[in-house]
Amino acid sequence: MTDKILGVYFPKDADLYAQRQTNIYEQFLKSLEAVIFSIRGSNVPITPSVIKKAEIEFEQRKQVALDLLTEGDLLYPFEDAKDLETLYEQENRFFEANKATFLSALKFGSLEIYHLFEVHGGFGLLAQQRSTEIKWTIRSKRGARLDACRAFYVNHRDFAYQTFLDMIVEENPEAKLFTVDLASAPFEKTAIKRADLKDRDSDIRKLVFHVGSNNWIAGAK
């Protein structure tokens, strides 16, 4: 392993980044649930003014979440990352889907039943009475309905993982060949040419460094 590569992040850092960002996102969703249950639990009529106030509160909570997510991005050298703007566009898709679910739950009480509450106090009583939780989902490009938190984690993990690989290429401008440690076969290695590692659309890169992969660069020459 070269000295330059030793200074670069590793798959576990991609995991930590994705988990940090997902924790923030999950807390954002939980705060929306608290708003929904508070309003519906008060039995006030769901008037246009109530919806308008809820929309304002959604945007305020969204901005707090975005600020915290940006802080997470600043912990890593992502300023010039190739897919940073794409990541932000994906995050916006999540928030748009969340807003639609949020407003639907307020207007129509479309809460999917899950026996997942174990809390106390007034909110706990309300939760026990209804035994409900909002199911936060987002549709994939193929139209499949995905768990929002899980999809959020996968998106951010792959963004960081692919960005760290790009960093290795940039930090080793003279390397022609990179040695890869295979996570599924710890004692086996393979090699990948610079052109294939540099190109995110390369079939070889996609095969070796796919979503969820923990394969990593062991050296360069």
d(CA 42, CA 3): 62
In angstroms, the CA 98 to CA 58 distance is 9
The pLDDT tens digits of the residues spanning 155-187 come to 999 999 999 999 999 989 999 999 999 998 888
Per-residue pLDDT, 134 = 86
Q: Which residues pair with 180 in a beta bridge?
A: 190, 217
Provide the pLDDT confidence category of residue 7 given band limits of 50, 70 and 90: low
Q: Is the pLDDT of residue 141 over 70?
A: yes
* % pLDDT > 90, the chain: 67
Per residue in 194-206, pLDDT tens? 999 999 999 999 9
Burial class (CB in 10 A: 0-12, 13-18, 19+), 209: buried
pLDDT of residue 129: 42
What's the confidence (pLDDT) of residue 11?
92
pLDDT at 3: 39
| pLDDT value at residue 128 | 44
What pLDDT band is residue 82 in, cutting at 50, 70 and 90? confident
Dist. CA 176–CA 192, nearest whole Å = 9
What residues form DSSP beta bridges with 217?
180
What are the two backbone dihedrals, phi and then psi, of residue 108, each rounded to the nearest 5 degrees?
A: -120, -5
Nearest in space to 178 (alpha carbons), one of 214, 157, 212, 208: 208
What is residue 109's predicted lDDT score, i.e. its pLDDT? Answer: 67
* Residue-averaged pLDDT of the chain: 86
**C-alpha angle 54-149-156 in degrees, rounded to nearest 5:** 115
pLDDT of 66 higher than 90 = yes
Global pTM value: 0.85
* Six-digit token string for 207: 């095969």
Q: What is the pLDDT of residue 125?
A: 46
User: What backbone phi and psi angles, to 5 degrees, belong to 214?
Assistant: -120, 15
